[in-house]
């Protein structure tokens, strides 16, 4: 992840999606889309770094009750596109016991909630010129699911997409240890292992089974790809 990790004071899991090889010999654009944890944790210097990086839109994937402490921003659009279907009790009875914090829920979610992912990708597609920050709370799973779709659409390999997902776990684990908090990453890994798989294998399988037509319109597809992929071979 060298060169893609960003040091924005206050956040611990920030990466540029740029610089990744795509099909046809191209690379994803830098400063186009950034993934992150909760932006309200940014310090004053962190907000300055975000602005200097060219971020002009924030697409926040959290529910309203999670979005506390965000400052009023006049120069940055904040688009709230919640991904959790809170009224779907059947879904949460199955996945709300901690499994929703793992890649185990990715495929069931993709099948059950394509309309919510459609809304998230559409918000990114039609964001105003400039960089887009996509975030949830930790920047791993809800953000990770949207990023899987973005990178797959851009033509990034499944292995590189899995590498990017795994990078969040290492960053969150290091941050927990540095801040004296309980490191939940081994707990999450154990939950996944109990199901006979691994986060990496789950991401690879998710990419393999994607049908992008369920998550982005034919009209939006080239617009979003142009936002994500540079015109020069790299």
Here the CATH number for the domain that contains residue 204 is 3.90.190.10
Longest dimension (CA), the chain: 48
Q: Do residues 4 and 15 make contact, with C-beta atoms less than 8 angstroms apart?
A: yes
Q: Do residues 122 and 216 make contact, with C-beta atoms less than 8 angstroms apart?
A: yes
Tokens 């992840």 belong to residue: 1
Q: Cα(27)–Cα(21) distance, rounded to whole angstroms? A: 4
9 located within any domain: no
Find the DSSP H helices in 35-75: 44-52
**What is the average pLDDT across 158-167?**
97
pLDDT bucket at 219, cuts 50 / 70 / 90:
very high
Count of Cβ atoms closer than 10 Å to residue 7 Cβ? 9
Distance between alpha carbon 166 and the CA centroid of its chain, in Å? 12
Is the confidence at residue 2, as pLDDT, over 60?
A: no
Domain of residue 45 covers: 15-233
Please provide residue 159's backbone torsions phi and psi, each rounded to the nearest 5 degrees: -65, -40
Distance between alpha carbon 150 and the CA centroid of its chain, in Å? 9
10 located within any domain: no
Phi-psi region of 134 (alpha: psi -120 to 50; beta: other; left: phi over 0): beta
25 located within any domain: yes
From residue 198, alpha-carbon distances to 34, 102, 142, 162, 204 in Å are 25, 10, 18, 11, 10
Q: How many domains does the chain have?
A: 1
Is the confidence at residue 232, as pLDDT, over 70?
A: no
169 located within any domain: yes
6 located within any domain: no
60 located within any domain: yes
pLDDT digits (tens, 9 = 90+) for 78-94: 999 999 998 999 999 98
151 located within any domain: yes
Is the confidence at residue 1, as pLDDT, over 50?
A: no
179 located within any domain: yes
When mean pLDDT is compared over 64-68, 118-122, 226-230, the highest value belongs to 118-122
């Amino acid at each position: 992840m060298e060169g893609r990790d960003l040091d924005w004071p206050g956040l611990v899991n920030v990466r540029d999606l740029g610089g990744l090889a795509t099909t046809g010999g191209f690379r994803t654009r830098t400063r186009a889309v950034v993934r992150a944890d909760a932006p309200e944790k940014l310090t004053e210097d962190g907000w300055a770094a975000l602005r200097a990086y060219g971020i002009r839109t924030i697409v926040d994937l959290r529910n309203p009750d999670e979005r506390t402490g965000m400052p009023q921003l006049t120069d940055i659009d904040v688009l709230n596109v919640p991904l959790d279907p809170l009224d779907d009790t059947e879904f949460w009875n199955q996945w709300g016991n901690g499994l929703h914090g793992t890649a185990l829920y990715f495929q069931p979610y993709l099948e059950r909630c394509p309309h919510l992912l459609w809304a998230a990708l559409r918000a990114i597609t039609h964001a105003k010129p400039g960089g887009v920050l996509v975030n949830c709370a930790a920047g791993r799973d809800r953000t990770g699911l949207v990023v899987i779709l973005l990178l797959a659409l851009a033509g990034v390999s499944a292995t590189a997409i899995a590498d990017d997902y795994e990078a969040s776990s290492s960053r969150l684990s290091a941050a927990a240890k540095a801040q004296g908090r309980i490191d939940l990453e081994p707990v999450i890994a154990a939950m996944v292992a109990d199901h006979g798989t691994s986060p990496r294998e789950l991401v690879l399988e998710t990419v393999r089974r994607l049908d992008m037509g369920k998550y982005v319109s034919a009209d939006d597809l080239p617009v979003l790809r142009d936002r994500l992929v540079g015109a020069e071979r790299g």
